Amino acid sequence: MAQKIRAEQDIYPIRLQAYMARCGVGSRRACEELIRQGRVMINNRIVREMGVKVGKDDVVQVDTETIEPAEELHYIALNKPRGYVCTNYDPNETRYARDLIDIRDNHLLFNVGRLDKDSNGLIIFTNDGDFANKMMHPRYEVEKEYIVKLDRDVVIDDLNRALKGVYIDIPKPYRIRRYDLMPRTRQFVRVTLIEGRNREIRKIFSFLGYDVKALTRIRVGCVELDELRPGEWRDLTRDEVAGLLSGRGNAPRPRRHTVKAGYDDNRD
C-alpha cells in the first residue's frame, strides 16, 4: 500500500497557481503557463492574470474540468522501462509511465523532471506541486546520475571536454558535473548532471562523436534506483523527501561498480 502524507487543510486564501499545484495539475511553473493560455476558470470566469487568490468556496476549473486539492500527498520513485513516456497525454503514444503506478489517485500524479522514451531508470512522481516546483528550481541543484552505454570506448579527453562544457544548439553550454569510469570496459560510464535538460546526455555524446546505446538514470539527489526493477515503484521515505528539499545526499555513496537489478541496458 502506498505511504500517504496528509495534505494541509487550512490553506485559504491561496494563490491560484499554488492551488492548482496542490490539485496535482503540475508544478507552479506549468500551472502559470496554463493560466496565461486562458485555460483556467474561477467560478466560470476565465483568469489570465497572476496573483489571483482562491477562497475555500471557489470553484476552479482547468480545461472545463473541476479540480480540488488532493487529500493525500504522494512521493513515488518509479523505474521507468524503455518505451514508456513521462507525459500524461500524447495522442501518438499508448504506454504512459504513470499508469505503472497502481494507486487510486494515480491520475493526479505528474513526473518531476523527465526521462525520454528511449531511456529508462529512476523518475519521481508526485501530486505535490510545491515539492515539484522546489525540486526543479535551479538553486536546489539536485544531481541526476546515469549509467551510459556507448558504441565504443570513451576517451578521457572527451569526458574532460564535457566537464568544461560544450556549445551545441543554444548559447548556454551543456556540461556534466562528474564522471566515473566503470571497470573492465570503457563503453560504460557513470555521468552526473545538475540541470538535466532535454536529451542533454545524448546531445553531449553525439556532439563528441559517440552513439548512446543505452541510458539508465540510477540516482536523483539522495534517492537511488537500487534493486527497483523496470516497471516497479516504491514510496519515498520521509527522510528522502526531506533530503531532496534540503539538498542533502547529493554526493553519491561509495560505488561497488556492480550493475544492480534495476539496470537495463536496453537490448532490443
Active site residues: 116
Measured CA to CA, the distance from residue 133 to residue 222 in angstroms comes to 17
CB count within 10 Å of CB 23 equals 19
The dihedral formed by the CA atoms of 141, 142, 147 and 148, expressed in degrees to the nearest 10: -40
- Using an 8 Å Cβ cutoff, are 142 and 120 in contact? no
3-state secondary structure the chain: CCCCEECCCCCCCEEHHHHHHHCCCCCHHHHHHHHHCCCEEECCEECCCCCCEECCCCCEEECCEEECCCCEECEEEEEECCCCECCCCCCCCCCEHHHHCCCCCHHHCEEECCCCCCCEEEEEEECCHHHHHHHHCHHHCCCEEEEEEECCCCCHHHHHHHHHCECCCCCCCECCCEEEECCCCCCEEEEEECCCCCCHHHHHHHHCCCCEEEEEEEEECCEECCCCCCCCEEECCHHHHHHHHHCCCCCCCCCCCCCCCCCCCCCC
